[in-house]
Structure 1
């Protein structure tokens, strides 16, 4: 037996102003998308903005449903829309922001497990890492250079 140590390297920015200019713009688009989320049950709004290698920006937000499993997270809404509209484009960067209508959300909020798996699928599909920036409504922003930092030991097609 041996222990295996897995580490993730993330970059933490204190404010939006510290981010590269293009990322500030992408995060603002994610924030705008968040405001249009449909979340009458959880009151938890999430927005995503994706920059593609063709220069297009695709947005998404969470869409809830009274039959809870039928809803869809912002990240997957944006990824699947990008895949449907621009099937040959690669995802370069994702910006995510989340906030509660019940309390201030100042901690960075990463993608949920299902969204991590969907992002992982696209990293494998395009054979290129996806930069992911995520935050609450305000406060620090976390950057991961790849989904692999957020989902080590991920499940992909190599296991099938």
Structure 2
């Protein structure tokens, strides 16, 4: 038996003002994406902004449904939109933020496991890392260089491609 350690590296910022212009803009656009959220049940709005290599930014927001499993997270809304509209696009970076009227969010909200798996698939498809920024409005920001670092044991089965 072996005992192995797994470590990830990420950047932590105290405020959006500490980010470079491109990352700050992406975070601000993720905040704008909150307005498209359809979340009448949870009242928990999530916005995502994804920057493509072309410089274009695609927005997504969470979309709830009375039949709860039928909704979709902001990350997947934006990613599936890219997959359907720009199937050859290369994703450079994505910013994710959240907001609710019920309480103050004090730490960055991270992606759920389903979204991480979809994010890993896009990263794998394009054979290059996707930088992820978790942006807490008026607070801390976490930035990881690759989705794979967030889900190191992602489901991958290369034989399915044959």
Q: TM-score range by the shorter chain?
A: over 0.9
- Deviations 1:40-93 (Å, cap 9, x if unpaired)? 111110000000011111000000000001000000000111111111111100
Aligned residues: 160
| 8 Å CA contact retained: 2:27, 2:135 | no
State how far apart, in whole Å, the 2-side matches of 1:53 and 1:29 are.
16
| Misfit runs of 4+, over 4 Å | none
**Counterpart check, 1:144 vs 2:144:** yes
The correspondence of residues 24-43 of structure 1 with structure 2, limited to 5 A, is 24-43=24-43
Match of 1:63 in 2: 63
Match of 2:89 in 1: 89
Structure 2 counterpart SS, 1:78: helix
State how far apart, in whole Å, the 2-side matches of 1:10 and 1:70 are.
33
The correspondence of residues 5-154 of structure 1 with structure 2, limited to 5 A, is 5-154=5-154
Structure 1: 5+ residue runs without aligned partners?
A: none
Q: CA RMSD of the aligned region, Å?
A: 1.1
Structure 2 counterpart SS, 1:93: strand
Q: Following TM superposition, by how much is the alpha carbon of 1:159 offset from its aligned partner in structure 2, in angstroms?
A: 6.2
Instruction: Compute the TM-score of the two structures, normalised by the length of structure 1.
Output: 0.96
Structure 2: 5+ residue runs without aligned partners?
A: none
Structure 2 counterpart SS, 1:46: strand
| 8 Å CA contact retained: 2:36, 2:60 | no
Q: Following TM superposition, by how much is the alpha carbon of 1:8 offset from its aligned partner in structure 2, in angstroms?
A: 1.0
